[in-house]
Chains A and B, each alone.
Chain A
Amino acid sequence: MRGTWIHSRWTLPTVGVLALLLPVVVTSSYFVHVLVLAVIFSILTLSLNLLTGYSGLLSLGHQAFFAIGAYISALLATRLYVPFWAGLVLGGLGAMVGGYFISRITLRLREAYFVIATIAFSNIIGLVALNWIDLTQGPMGITGVPVPSVFGFEADTPVKAYYMALLLLAFALLVCRRLLDSDVGRSMIAMREFENLAKVVGIDTRRYAIIAYSVSAMLAGLAGAFYAHYMKFLSPDVFAFDIMVNVVVMMLAGGMGTLTGPVLGAFIFTVVPEALRFSNEYRLVLLALTIILLVRFLPQGIWGLVVHRVNKVERLVEPGTKVVVAGKRRETGA
């Protein structure tokens, strides 16, 4: 799989430079705002993908970690005047601790049971955020959350916030890359493909899955903390199942089990609906149809398709090297 443009060492720097130049091309501050949201959703989608794309465990309660990070950071900033960077770190750590405890319980379960348990947890946490009015101000939400600022650099315009969010995205990508290149990543893939075999050869899949889940929760928490400060307002709406469905579509459309795919998916599904100005009802109908059609006809996602097309030439050279097992997704590191 070497020698194509996908694996060229120039690809990543090129994409990075393009991302940095984007606000120069896009002059409308509203569209820069949409780009900031796309970056935040990229981090959240990467976080879900780290768990679901590699270990096959679908968490449909992942927005709870986004919300935990957001609430911790927003409350620390508005009640105790904790600076943004400390709130961000504590929000991420808080979500990670939450992820650790929840995964210790839920990772005893598999498949549907796991999914249902994650939904149950996020619903309970959401009800607490809605009803513990003394702390969270309930449905009124927390107003006046200070804008993100690090060492005197205030992200008070969308362009500045965009660069700060990109930095966070780069960090998230780095964390994912490092984790996937470690024992944890390999164990997760082993768990997705042949869990019992992995256990037989002595891999403690549960332990690795807990680590992956906690790190995934941390990334979601960081995204949430940044979101709360960027929007300057936070309400229990962040627990909405719609957000989760959006993130699932972004992950699926981009390509599960890759690092490029989720970012691509998040950008497409944040920017395109805004650009086409769909009304909300039609947007959700289209989103629903997208999920159904994607899993049926393009389960490897857009990026998976690109990788497949680009690599096709090489595959023809050695027709004997068939790596697809039972129709599952195989691309792991693109």
Chain B
Amino acid sequence: MELVSQTTMNGLIIGGTYALTAIGMTLIFGFMQLVNFAHGELYMLGAYFTFTYVVMGKMPFWIGFPLALITVFVLAYILDVVLLRPLRNQDILIRMLTTIGLMLLFQNLALLIWGPVPQRVPSPISGESIEFLGLRVAPLHLLVTAAALVVILAAHYVMQHTRMGMAMRATFQDREVAAAMGIPVNRFYGLTFAFGAVLAAAGGGLLSMIFLVTPTMGVLASSKAFTVVILGGLGSFLGAITGGMIIGLAEAFGATYLWADYKDAIAFVILLAILMLKPNGLFGKASGVE
């Protein structure tokens, strides 16, 4: 029984981090209809910039982490202007291939810049395990999960309850009408992409204290985020949170009770099952399905 509840706890903590990487994608994939294969690499860059500022630049985490997010925001906005904007009306194949190129570019630039040795960002709080609801948890894990939830709720608030969020949603509902109403749609494409990128980078920056930071850490993050977004439904924040928790729990239980070797296959099997049985996900509308 204790194993069951401990596994549940581990699953929920991992699930929270999956949800965090997935909300950025639900924004870019769900709202912008852009299949961003480089999403995991933005997550990876969030981790590396945090590492650069905190470990190499010797800044406190509370300054280095926001700086990393700003760096990724600027980078993503430039990417949208330079690379994605000219391709906006192109075939979806062209845009997918561009993001695949970006994925490969970032991975290998990271390898050249930061090297192949895995890095780690030291935790700003002590690592002693504490009792929480009768279970042993590292306070760092609790902190990261709480931070992830705060970021998700803040993103939800921005999208649903601010004028900026309203303008973003209007832009992707009907570009022409939004433009006619005076919304600078090009700027909002860039802002949404950068916002989604920052959410991915926040995931990477927070998890850089728990997991090792490597140039290829984004690959699995991307495929998990795709799974969570499709499971939860495109463009749904609630879906991203629920989906993240489901995948986190499925992996924790699968690894504990089935085969640990196939832990990473669980997400893919769930992904295929969802695509076959309920392609619009738990909370979303269908698109891209025959």
Contacts and interface: CB of A to CB of B under 8 A. Distances in A.
Contacts of B97: 58, 248, 252, 291, 295
A312 to B, nearest CB: 23
A314 B87 CA distance: 30
Interface stretch (B16-24, B59-67, B88-96, B142-150): B88-96
B98 A285 contact: no
B94 A292 contact: no
Interface size range on B against A: 35 or more
Contact of B275 (A117, A131, A288, A296): A117
A322 interface: no
B276 A116 contact: no
B272 interface: yes
A299 B94 contact: yes
Contacts of A56: 91, 93
The 7 closest A-B pairs by CB, nearest first: A291-B101, A288-B105, A288-B104, A292-B101, A112-B35, A120-B268, A131-B261
A287 to B, nearest CB: 6
A121 B273 CA distance: 11
A108 B289 contact: yes
Nearest to A291: B101
B271 interface: yes
B271 A288 contact: no
Contacts of A282: 112
Given A108-B276, A288-B104, A289-B101, A113 B96 contact: no
B105 A108 contact: no
Nearest to A293: B101
Nearest to B215: A281
Contact of B219 (A127, A241, A248, A284): A241
A119 interface: yes
Contacts of A108: 276, 289-290
Contacts of A206: 290
A328 interface: yes
Interface string B13-49: 0000000000000000100000100000000000000
Contacts of B275: 109, 113, 116-117
Given A108-B289, A112-B35, A281-B111, A291 B87 contact: no
B102 A288 contact: yes
A115 B101 contact: no
Interface of A: 52, 56, 58, 60, 105, 107-113, 115-117, 119-121, 123-124, 127-128, 130-131, 206, 241, 245, 248, 252, 281-282, 284-285, 287-292, 295-296, 299, 327-328
B217 interface: no
A206 B289 CA distance: 13
A115 B222 CA distance: 13
Contacts of A60: 100
B83 A113 contact: no
B290 A328 contact: no
A252 B272 CA distance: 28
B105 A105 contact: no
Given A124-B265, A127-B264, A245-B104, A295 B98 contact: yes
Contacts of A288: 101-105, 108
B268 to A, nearest CB: 4
A291 to B, nearest CB: 3
Given A113-B279, A131-B262, A105 B272 contact: yes
Given A107-B290, A123-B264, A131-B261, 19 more contacts: A105-B272, A108-B276, A109-B279, A110-B288, A110-B290, A120-B268, A124-B269, A124-B272, A128-B265, A252-B97, A281-B111, A285-B108, A285-B112, A288-B102, A289-B105, A291-B104, A295-B87, A295-B98, A299-B94
Nearest to A105: B276
Given A245-B100, A291-B101, A296-B86, A113 B91 contact: no
Contacts of A107: 290
Contact of B262 (A105, A127, A327): A127
B223 to A, nearest CB: 7
Nearest to B216: A241
B109 interface: yes
A292 to B, nearest CB: 4
A292 B102 contact: yes
B102 A123 contact: no
Given A124-B268, A292-B102, A111 B288 contact: yes
Nearest to A205: B290
Interface in B243-267: 259, 261-262, 264-265
B230 interface: yes
Nearest to A241: B219
B1 to A, nearest CB: 30
Contacts of B261: 127, 130-131
A295 B101 contact: yes
Interface in B74-124: 83, 86-87, 90-94, 96-98, 100-105, 107-109, 111-112
